């Protein structure tokens, strides 16, 4: 039983579309992250940076409007899809599929913690591991039930945002209340900006020890204030992805061509106007003291994220057989963990003061070009690697630790 389970997944058992989507999602994740390799993560609390001009402004606005959040949603959908695929296969070959999946998440959490603490603070892996544990409560649900649960859990932070906005509007109904609220908000922003200033100085000019100290302060604030929003958001997306797997839409894409056409149509109809609204009116959301304008912008942002992520996925699914370039994304997708961590290693080495020290010296347009160049380089590099090895190095380690025995590595 265990011997069968630990044999490598055969090429014909992999779902090629999912590897292609992962490869494409890596680009979007990097286009988002490249901004925060050159500034503290908490600076996102200050909204869109209007100090940029020319090409830097244009690129930043495009990424903010059409990329930010969309590819995070896409990656999260893929995780939920992968959960169902992994669990259903494990259930056929092991008497302990829950423990196997739990161990897989523990290893992912270790990757995430190491990445978060010692390389770069914008890690998504640890949050994925935390939210992923809750998936075990839904392993026997139908596709429709997974979808309903996913939507319901995903909406919890949106509801919290609106409740927060209502309470703030009520508190500011009197001049005294408005003054007290403004004072509290000012104090909270002063605390955030102090952390940002300390982190920026450490990342630009500090030693590695300085960076670790500043990052721990930044991460501590980010997680303690954002965990109640991040975890249900991610879990909800996981469950929606799981419903796509259980329904066969994601696991048998060739049989669901019409579904992908509908996803493209309705995803674009909902997502494009929503994204443009956020791009023009949602650039300065106040997350510390959300008012009605922030609650509206946050809600519309979620529509944009889902709509465009589904549209992007559908475009890849429909184009896969016609566009040869889409096929070339698959090797990078098979090595998604390795490639994702490589992004952080390369760009923290380029920007941080303890290495090449170019922090804050490269404009957004140039930095984005560098990100695209790295991603393009990863496509042939991943293909070259997988001709010689069965897995990427991090994927091999993840799998070996999950099954508690070394996996075949060389071909």
What does the pLDDT read at residue 209?
98
What does the pLDDT read at residue 8?
46
Give the list of residues 6+ apart from residue 9 with CB closer than 8 angstroms, or none. Answer: none
* pLDDT tens-place string over residues 301-347: 999 999 999 999 999 999 987 878 889 999 999 999 999 999 999 99
- The two structure tokens encoding residue 333: 């997708």
What does the pLDDT read at residue 343?
99
Q: With left for phi above 0 and alpha for psi between -120 and 50, is residue 391 left, alpha or beta? A: beta
The backbone torsions φ and ψ at residue 380, rounded to the nearest 5 degrees and listed phi first, read -70, -30
Rounded Cα distance, 320 and 18, in Å? 11
Cβ-based burial of 387 (10 A; exposed 0-12, middle 13-18, buried ≥19): exposed
End-to-end alpha carbon distance in the chain = 23
What does the pLDDT read at residue 47?
85
Angle in degrees, CA 51, 362, 359, rounded to 5: 100
User: Within 10 Å of residue 292's Cβ, how many Cβ atoms?
Assistant: 12
Select from 130, 141, 138 the least CA-distant residue to 98. 138
Distances (CA, A) of 136 to 74, 97, 127, 140, 161: 21, 10, 16, 9, 27
Give the list of residues 6+ apart from residue 337 with CB closer than 8 angstroms, or none. Answer: 111, 125, 392, 394, 395, 398
* pLDDT tens-place string over residues 180-208: 888 888 898 899 999 999 999 999 999 99
312 neighbors 272 (Cβ within 8 angstroms): no
Under-50 pLDDT residues of the chain? 1-3, 8, 11
Rounded Cα distance, 299 and 154, in Å? 11
Select from 314, 315, 303 the least CA-distant residue to 69. 303
The residues pairing with 410 across neighbouring beta strands, listed in sequence order, are 389
289 neighbors 178 (Cβ within 8 angstroms): no
């Amino acid at each position: 039983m265990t011997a069968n389970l630990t044999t490598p997944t055969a090429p014909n058992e992999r779902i090629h579309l999912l590897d292609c989507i992962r490869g494409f999602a890596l680009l979007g994740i990097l286009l988002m992250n490249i901004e925060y390799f050159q500034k503290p993560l908490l600076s996102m609390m200050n909204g869109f940076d209007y100090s940029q001009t020319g090409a830097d402004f244009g690129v930043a606005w495009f990424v903010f409007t059409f990329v930010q959040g969309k590819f995070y949603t896409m990656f999260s959908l893929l995780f939920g899809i992968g959960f169902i695929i992994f669990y259903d296969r494990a259930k056929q070959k092991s008497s302990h599929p829950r423990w196997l999946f739990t161990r897989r998440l523990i290893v992912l959490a270790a990757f995430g913690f190491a990445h978060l603490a010692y390389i770069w603070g914008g890690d998504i892996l640890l949050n994925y591991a935390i939210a992923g544990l809750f998936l075990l409560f839904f392993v026997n649900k139908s596709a429709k039930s997974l979808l309903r649960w996913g939507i319901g859990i995903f909406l919890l932070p949106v509801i919290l945002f609106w409740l927060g906005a209502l309470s703030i509007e009520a508190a500011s109904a009197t001049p005294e209340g408005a003054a007290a609220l403004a004072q509290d908000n000012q104090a909270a922003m002063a605390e955030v900006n102090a952390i940002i200033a300390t982190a920026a100085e450490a990342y630009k000019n500090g030693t590695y020890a300085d960076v670790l100290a500043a990052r721990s302060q930044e991460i501590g604030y980010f997680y303690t204030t954002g965990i109640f929003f991040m975890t249900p958001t991610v879990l909800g997306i996981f469950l929606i992805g799981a419903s796509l797997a259980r329904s066969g839409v994601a696991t048998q894409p060739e049989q669901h061509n019409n579904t992908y056409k509908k996803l493209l149509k309705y995803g674009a109809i909902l997502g494009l106007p929503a994204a443009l609204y956020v791009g023009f009116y949602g650039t300065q959301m106040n997350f510390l003291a959300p008012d009605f304008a922030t609650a509206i912008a946050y809600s519309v942002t979620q529509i944009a994220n889902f709509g465009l992520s589904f549209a992007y996925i559908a475009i890849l699914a429909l184009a896969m057989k016609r566009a040869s370039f889409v096929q070339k994304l698959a090797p990078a997708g098979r090595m998604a963990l390795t490639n994702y961590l490589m992004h952080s290693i390369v760009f923290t080495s380029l920007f941080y003061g303890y290495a090449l020290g170019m922090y804050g010296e490269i404009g957004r347009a140039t930095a984005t070009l560098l990100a695209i160049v790295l991603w393009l380089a990863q496509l042939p590099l991943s293909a070259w690697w997988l001709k010689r090895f069965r897995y990427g190095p991090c994927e091999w380690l993840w799998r070996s630790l999950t099954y508690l025995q070394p996996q075949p590595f060389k071909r």
